[in-house]
Chains A and B, each alone.
Chain A
């Protein structure tokens, strides 16, 4: 029992970060069918925004969260307007284009800020640790968990209790018919993309005090987040949360019992097998054509 509880809490912490990153990806993928390989770069840009706001203006992490969300969301909106919008009929090409955008973002950061590792200070308010069921747990990790849950709740509310959410769900079901009813699908797509990107930026800002910030940091997140989306299935918010929990626990567990490399290999292999037999994910009934 002594070993299991800390393990569970570590897993939960990994899961909450995964959820933050994957939520944006899942919304974008579920709504527009675009596999956004630049998602990891949105995470990275969020982390760099946090670093910049802290070092240049001296703004603390907590105060800058809203600004970061808006900044990265704006960027996502521009990307959708400039590139993605022209590729909805060519899904394979969206992979390539978003990857190209990722490269551009990485190089732009490398050229302007430099390739060295950056560090973001943890808010002093959340720097300590408290015992949870007898296990010393970092307050900041608990904060991330709570925030991830809150953002999930917000997203659920947006999707199922607002006008825009209803339109979004209508488009996801059938874009043509939704358009016939006067829903401006292009506008909804742009907003969705911006919202998803903003969430990714927020995730990046939140992990920045835990991990060092570098131009390449996005790559790991996009892979893991994609796994969550594939496992959880499209158009299924519940699927996203359950699969983040599963993957988070699994990663924590595997990393504990074997080495990191093998843990990753096993996770990837299981995802490959999953895609082969259930490409629609575990928690989804309908497949997007």
Chain B
């Protein structure tokens, strides 16, 4: 392990530790819930960083997988609400209002919480595999990927709104039970949920880091830098892209599930265009080629937004400022703040050469032979 990796691990670990320690200083349930929400967005940013920053797949529909995960969780929790709020035979209330007589077949397995937990990851992953297969086997790249992912997300969103009888339509799925695993209840406004989220965040961050440090991760970065050359080396580029796309989707699904837990509802806005584009902003500002940078970017930007959202006028001004910051970052700092920090560190300690974009490709070439 190089010294650089060691330092990176220490920094990542320190940040996660700091996040886990927050509840010892904050005792306000409302604030903890709010921080929990920001952390969820941090996880979502990690997911996008993996596909956009490391593999060069600009997924403008990152919220699709987030929303799918969130709905899986919401369906399970809806079926567990106390009978007062539900219709006959445990039928969710919105179905009763829409004259649905029996529980639709795809709702039935969600009586089992373990099924829901698996589905919250599996559904987004399967969706991403399918979409990835559809796009990358056809060698669709660049802006077209962005457009297809965006359009697909809008389609899913419209379907959810349109199928009000089964999904709750515009209102989403509200009035949920609290998550209970093996007799332990996760209160949305308690420390338990915060720890759950912070713990998951740590796991996701290190999992994503492990992926990027692996041989596969190296090939992913090589694909980002020069897809054609990786293909000439004999690698199955589409396979690696689908892999990165699906892993990213899985992490987004996890984030979605957690978001339902802290928000206590699921809504079509969770797979909306504005959320999806916000994720892109967070990653761009924080630094898309750094998992930690993207995550902190998300936490910082949403945190600021949350702090200013008490006043409507402030929020509008904030969005205006964000627009300017975003354009400036795109223009001047393509690697975001993390890239700037890295550059600064490299300037201060010149022992190790910065890992430039080209080296990822040559490393991949020298470490491993052709795959086929």
Interface residues of A (CB under 8 A from B): 35, 83, 86-87, 90-93, 95-97, 99-104, 106-108, 110-111, 219, 223, 226, 230, 259, 261-262, 264-265, 268-269, 271-272, 275-277, 279
Contacts and interface: CB of A to CB of B under 8 A. Distances in A.
B144 A103 contact: no
A104 B322 CA distance: 8
B152 A93 contact: no
Contact of A275 (B148, B273, B277, B316): B148
B123 interface: no
20 contacts: A87-B331, A90-B334, A95-B143, A96-B280, A96-B330, A97-B327, A97-B330, A103-B326, A107-B316, A223-B154, A262-B162, A264-B154, A268-B155, A269-B151, A271-B151, A272-B155, A275-B147, A275-B148, A276-B138, A279-B140
A101 B323 contact: yes
B58, B159, B323: most-surrounded residue (chain A CB, <10 A):
B323
B324 interface: yes
B320 A107 contact: yes
Contacts of B143: 35, 91-92, 95
Interface in B118-167: 134-135, 138, 140, 142-144, 146-148, 151-152, 154-155, 158-159, 161-162
A265 B162 contact: yes
Nearest to A105: B323
A92 B331 CA distance: 12
Nearest to A279: B144
A276 B151 CA distance: 12
Contacts of B134: 276
B50 interface: no
Given A87-B330, A92-B58, A268 B154 contact: yes
B155, B280, B281: most-surrounded residue (chain A CB, <10 A):
B155
Contacts of B281: 100
Given A93-B334, A96-B330, A265-B158, 4 more contacts: A35-B147, A91-B143, A103-B319, A230-B147
A93 B142 CA distance: 10
B162 A259 contact: yes
Contact of B135 (A110, A226, A276): A276
Nearest to B328: A100
B60, B151, B281, B324: most-surrounded residue (chain A CB, <10 A):
B151
Chain B, interface SS category: helix
Contact of B152 (A35, A223, A272): A272
B327 A100 contact: yes
Contacts of A275: 140, 144, 147-148
A268 B330 contact: no
B143, B144, B281: most-surrounded residue (chain A CB, <10 A):
B143
Contacts, number: 101
Nearest to B331: A86
Contacts of B135: 276
B161, B316, B322: most-surrounded residue (chain A CB, <10 A):
B316
Contacts of B309: none
Contacts of B60: 95
Nearest to B324: A104
B102 interface: no
A58 to B, nearest CB: 29
A112 to B, nearest CB: 10
B322 to A, nearest CB: 7
Contacts of A269: 151, 155
B28 interface: no
B317 interface: yes
B61 to A, nearest CB: 11
B148 A272 contact: yes
Contact of B331 (A35, A83, A259): A83
Nearest to B157: A265
B284 interface: yes
Contacts of B280: 96
Contacts of B161: 261
Contacts of A91: 142-143
B147 A226 contact: yes
Contact of A107 (B144, B273, B319): B319
A233 to B, nearest CB: 13
A8 to B, nearest CB: 26
A104 B327 contact: yes
Contacts of B320: 103-104, 107-108, 111
A106 B326 CA distance: 15
A99 B316 CA distance: 16
Contacts of B146: 92, 95
10 A-B pairs with the lowest CB-CB distances in the bound complex, closest first? A103-B323, A107-B320, A104-B323, A100-B327, A100-B326, A265-B158, A261-B162, A97-B330, A268-B151, A107-B319
B313 to A, nearest CB: 8
Contacts of B158: 261-262, 264-265, 268
A219 B277 CA distance: 13
Interface string B329-371: 0110010000000000000000000000000000000000000
Interface in B270-290: 273, 277, 280-281, 284
A100 B323 contact: yes
A231 to B, nearest CB: 12
Contacts of A268: 151-152, 154-155, 158
B166 to A, nearest CB: 14
A265 B319 contact: no
Contacts of B138: 276-277
Contact of B327 (A83, A95, A262, A276): A83
Contacts of A97: 326-327, 330-331
A110 B147 contact: no
A219 B281 CA distance: 18
Interface in B83-126: none
A127 B40 CA distance: 53
